[in-house]
A and B are shown apart, each in its own frame.
Chain A
Amino acid sequence: DAGVIQSPRHEVTEMGQEVTLRCKPISGHNSLFWYRQTMMRGLELLIYFNNNVPIDDSGMPEDRFSAKMPNASFSTLKIQPSEPRDSAVYFCASSPQGATYSNQPQHFGDGTRLSIL
């Protein structure tokens, strides 16, 4: 079975540029999560979706960040404009049950390592 697929694996860009991270959840999973991992702050939840609907975006750091899930098999996390402090590893995860999602294991992608120069 294919796991959670994230692209790109690595992204290096200059500050001010728009960055788009992509995620394909496991087929049949109806909850999707975006996390950011840094040395200083650890693993932070940015936003999550149930059945393509954003449920909680309180972790999104500021308006420069936006996330969409146009269908059950695809989600994007966009940063515009990007800043050096956005450099981190961004993970996408999915789980199979929306209503009680936290008692179903979240399956993680391999992450996107983002560097903003």
Chain B
Amino acid sequence: AQSVTQPDIHITVSEGASLELRCNYSYGATPYLFWYVQSPGQGLQLLLKYFSGDTLVQGIKGFEAEFKRSQSSFNLRKPSVHWSDAAEYFCAVGAKQAGTALIFGKGTTLSVSS
């Protein structure tokens, strides 16, 4: 079955500390991977995406993610978290072929403490 698992429902980090949000996927085809962020009352904004090539991808707002095929993972990282990063983060997987849809994880809520 195709699925995305975000094991951590809620994470709290101190401002300035590093962050890693976990994402594992199960997908039958070559995966195209995405991270989205959702601020309260708003829609999802794309942070970064991986299609092919360099397995370490850079995104907006200082985020990066690393694709590890052997571990079926696409973890999101940020070296130093800012209070404005508090939001919900969604990992998603899709395929290149027409007729398929993005599959989203259930999200990880990030809280930032001062």
A96 at the interface (CB under 8 A from B): no
Q: Dominant SS at the B interface?
A: loop
B17 at the interface (CB under 8 A from A): no
Indicate which residue in A55, A56, A98, A108 contacts B43 across the interface (CB closer than 8 Å).
Answer: A108
Interface residues on B, range: 20 to 34
Indicate which residue in B43, B95, B104 contacts A109 across the interface (CB closer than 8 Å).
Answer: B43
Contact A102 B43 (CB under 8 A): no
B31 nearest in chain A by CB position? A102
A111 at the interface (CB under 8 A from B): yes
**CB proximity of B98 to chain A, nearest CB, Å:** 5
A110 at the interface (CB under 8 A from B): yes
- Which of B18-26, B44-52, B65-73, B77-85 lies at the interface with chain A? B44-52
A100 at the interface (CB under 8 A from B): yes
Q: Which residues of B contact A106 (CB under 8 A)?
A: 44, 46, 102
Q: Which residues of A contact B98 (CB under 8 A)?
A: 50, 55, 98-101
B114 at the interface (CB under 8 A from A): no
Q: Which residues of B contact A48 (CB under 8 A)?
A: 101
**CB proximity of A38 to chain B, nearest CB, Å:** 10
For window 74-108 of A, CB contacts with B under 8 Å fall at 91, 93, 98-103, 105-108
Contact B105 A102 (CB under 8 A): no
Q: Which residues of A contact B107 (CB under 8 A)?
A: 42-43
Q: Which residues of B contact A50 (CB under 8 A)?
A: 98
Q: How far is the CA of A88 from the CA of B54 in the complex (A)?
A: 38
* Among all A-B residue pairs, the 10 with the closest Cβ atoms: A102-B94, A108-B43, A42-B106, A43-B104, A108-B44, A105-B46, A110-B43, A45-B101, A99-B98, A103-B32
Residues of A within 8 A of B (CB): 4, 33, 42-43, 45, 48, 50, 55-56, 91, 93, 98-103, 105-111
A-B contacts, 11 listed (Cβ < 8 Å): A4-B43, A43-B106, A45-B102, A93-B44, A100-B97, A102-B101, A102-B102, A105-B34, A105-B49, A108-B36, A108-B45
